[in-house]
């Protein structure tokens, strides 16, 4: 096998010029451990696997005369018996998942020479308590130390330029210092570090800064990350115009936040999973509330969205089960998909006339919703818009609505009546499925109801609205002779009606009037104890 190896290696190098090539070779050491390795394109060795014991491992700088320059993906994967590892200076790359799920690993020494720590390289190393990342490292990959739940201390040396997304997700860190060399910090780099009190930035850093342990960009116009171990309320500095994506995500101790009128955007998941947040006021300077911005803030009971906001993003308040009221201002033109889905405590909502469509799943599973006002500006109601809104009992669909999406009112088991003010919109059998006690009412002169009935399986019923009450009424006591009512009825015929205090119905007093406005008086003596009068449209 050994005599064939150089020939085989040469053929593989010609066939596929990748970073790590060649078939597995083995090195058995005097201590009984076995390294499996491959040969890289430059002739160096890549550690592919390890079989111990021993489990306190010092990786050699050479194997069979080849310099070890990389530790391959999954090389020590699930080595739960591994207790410590020393990586030599010859190694430049620790590839993704190299030490994934080494739950017994408590100590790691990374020598100067390593330039890259790959994705999930030390992920789920639950026993790891501290690590020093040397200055030779430039990149710390995605989730590189994710879920190292015992990791209380990390030293990031000057030289590191990039800290990847979720690099230290769910670690036990209490503080961390960002060196001056760092130019990029990924999203959620320190998310769910529930003990983290401060992120401190070297004053020589040209890209980031910190105030009282909170991470900002160097100009302090963007709030990048709020430490997850802080609790209580927080006032965002007036210099901030943008709250970055996931900036406060999973900050469960945050109870309140005050935004200045300079904030213009709230990024995706900015306050997601902030279970302790109870109320928030979004200033009028904000134009866009991002995707999942307040998603699953289950303790949030009240939201005030100031006039100026134009867009409420997908799932922006999704899963805010404690939210009981929300004011949507007239500046909002877009309520995106699932924006208020699973807000089971929401009881009523008024959609402003600036909105032209109700998006997919906008109020899905809002089981407490009992009242919703849809304005005449809305032309379409999206799929699943009010799916499983079991508390909804009645709803009026304005004449502007021309289409109702799939399952829009599916499972609204409390819905008993729907009033349509215009022609029948396009709809299908799923739209009101499961609404077993539903009556559909339509106005005289509107069209399309035979098709609507055929498509939905419902039987619409003609709806004649009650007459408009022009004047609520006047009262005359016994013996009084003068009574005057004035009204404006826009050309419709109106009637003067009266009823006694104990009467069960109203009776017509006068002949109809058809003038646009006017007044009526009578000098007839009232012989009843109390008599009530009203004007109404005929």
Model pLDDT for residues 115-164, shown as the tens digit of each residue: 999 999 999 999 999 999 999 999 999 999 999 999 999 999 999 999 99
**What pTM, to 2 d.p., does this model score?**
0.78
**Same domain, residue pair 454 and 480:** no
CA angle (273, 275, 276) in 5-degree steps: 140
Range of the domain at 403: 357-465
Comparing CA positions, the residue from 224, 148, 151 lying closest to residue 189 is 224
Domain edge (last residue) among 465, 488, 503 = 465
Final residue before a domain boundary, out of 416, 440, 465 = 465
- In this prediction, residue 523 carries a pLDDT of 43
- Return the bridge partners of 87, or none: 110
User: What are 187-237's pLDDT values in tens digits?
Assistant: 999 999 999 999 999 999 999 999 999 999 999 999 999 999 999 999 999
Beta carbons within 8 Å of 97's beta carbon, 6+ residues apart: 73, 74, 77, 118, 119, 120, 121, 123
**Could you identify the residue written with the tokens 């699953």?**
296
State residue 478's pLDDT score: 47
Query: Are both 361 and 461 inside the same structural domain?
Result: yes
* pLDDT recorded at residue 506: 64
All residues at 6 or more sequence positions from 37 whose CB lies less than 8 Å from its CB, including other chains: 24, 25, 26, 27, 45, 46, 47, 48, 63, 66, 68
In this structure, are 480 and 461 located in the same domain? no
CA pair distance 434, 216, nearest whole angstrom = 51
pLDDT the model gives residue 22: 54
Residue that terminates a domain, selected from 465, 483, 513: 465
- With contact defined as beta carbons under 8 Å apart, do 395 and 371 qualify? no
Q: 292: cis peptide before it, omega within 30°?
A: no
Q: Are residues 457 and 473 in the same domain?
A: no
Domain count, the chain: 2
Residue among 330, 334, 270, 271 at smallest CA distance from 305:
330
Q: Does 424 share its domain with 492?
A: no
Same domain, 459 and 362: yes
For residue 53, say if its preceding peptide bond is cis, omega within 30 degrees of 0: yes
Weakly modelled stretches of the chain, pLDDT under 70? 1-23, 465-538
Instruction: Identify whether 434 is part of a domain.
Output: yes
Tell me: do 361 and 448 sit in the same domain: yes
Q: In this structure, is residue 39 part of a structural domain?
A: no
pLDDT score of 493: 52
378 and 447 share one domain: yes
Contacts of 345 (CB under 8 A, 6+ apart): 301, 320, 321, 322, 323, 324, 368
In a domain, 126, yes or no: no
Task: Check whether residue 519 and residue 446 sit in a common domain.
Answer: no
Answer whether 355's CB lies under 8 Å from 378's CB.
yes
């Amino acid at each position: 096998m050994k005599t064939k190896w150089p020939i085989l290696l040469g053929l593989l190098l010609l066939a596929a010029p990748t970073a790590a090539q060649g078939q597995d070779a083995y090195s058995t050491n005097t201590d009984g451990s076995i390294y499996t390795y491959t040969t890289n394109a430059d002739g160096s060795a890549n550690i592919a696997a390890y079989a111990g014991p021993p489990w306190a491992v010092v990786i050699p700088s050479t194997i069979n005369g080849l310099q070890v320059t990389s530790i391959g993906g999954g090389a020590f994967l699930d080595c739960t018996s591994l207790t410590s590892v020393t990586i030599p200076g010859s190694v430049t790359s620790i590839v993704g998942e190299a030490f994934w799920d080494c739950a017994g690993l408590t100590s790691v020494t990374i020598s100067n020479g390593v330039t890259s720590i790959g994705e999930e390289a030390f992920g789920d190393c639950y026993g790891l308590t501290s690590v020093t990342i040397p200055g030779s490292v430039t990149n710390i990959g995605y989730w590189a130390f994710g879920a190292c739940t015992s990791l209380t201390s990390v030293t990031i040396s000057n030289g590191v330029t990039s800290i990847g997304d979720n690099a230290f997700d769910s670690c036990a860190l209490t503080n961390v210092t960002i060196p001056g060399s760092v130019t990029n910090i990924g999203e959620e780099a320190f998310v769910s570090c529930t003990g983290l009190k401060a992120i401190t930035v070297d004053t020589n850093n040209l890209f980031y800064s910190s105030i009282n342990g909170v991470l900002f960009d160097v100009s302090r116009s963007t709030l990048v990350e709020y430490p997850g171990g802080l609790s209580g309320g927080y006032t965002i500095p007036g210099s901030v115009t943008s709250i970055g994506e996931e900036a406060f995500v999973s900050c469960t101790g945050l109870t309140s936040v005050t935004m200045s009128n300079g904030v213009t955007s709230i990024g995706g998941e900015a306050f997601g999973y902030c279970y302790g947040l109870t109320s928030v006021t979004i200033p009028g300077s904000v134009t866009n509330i991002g995707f999942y911005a307040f998603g699953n803030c289950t303790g949030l009971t009240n939201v005030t969205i100031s006039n100026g906001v134009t867009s409420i993003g997908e799932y922006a308040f999704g899963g805010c089960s404690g939210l009981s009221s929300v004011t949507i201002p007239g500046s909002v033109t877009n309520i995106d998909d699932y924006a208020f889905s699973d807000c089971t405590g929401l009881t009523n909502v008024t959609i402003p006339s600036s909105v032209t469509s109700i998006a997919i799943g906008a109020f899905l599973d809002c089981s407490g919703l009992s009242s919703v006002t849809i304005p005449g500006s809305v032309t379409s109601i999206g799929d699943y818009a009010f799916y499983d809104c079991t508390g909804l009992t009645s709803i009026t669909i304005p004449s502007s609505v021309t289409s109702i999406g799939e399952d829009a009112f599916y499972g609204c088991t409390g819905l008993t009546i729907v009033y349509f003010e215009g022609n029948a919109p396009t709809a299908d059998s799923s739209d009101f499925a499961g609404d077993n006690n539903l009556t559909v009412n339509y106005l005289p002169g509107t069209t399309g109801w035979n098709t609507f009935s055929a498509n939905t399986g419902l039987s619409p019923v003609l709806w004649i609205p009650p007459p408009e009450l022009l004047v609520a009424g006047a009262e005359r006591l016994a013996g009084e002779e003068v009574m005057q009512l004035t009204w404006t009825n826009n050309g419709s015929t109106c009637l003067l009606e009266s009823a006694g205090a104990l009467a069960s119905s109203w009776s017509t007093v006068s002949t109809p009037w058809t003038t646009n406005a006017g007044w009526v008086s009578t000098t007839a003596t009232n012989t009843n104890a109390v008599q009530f009068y009203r004007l109404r449209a005929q």
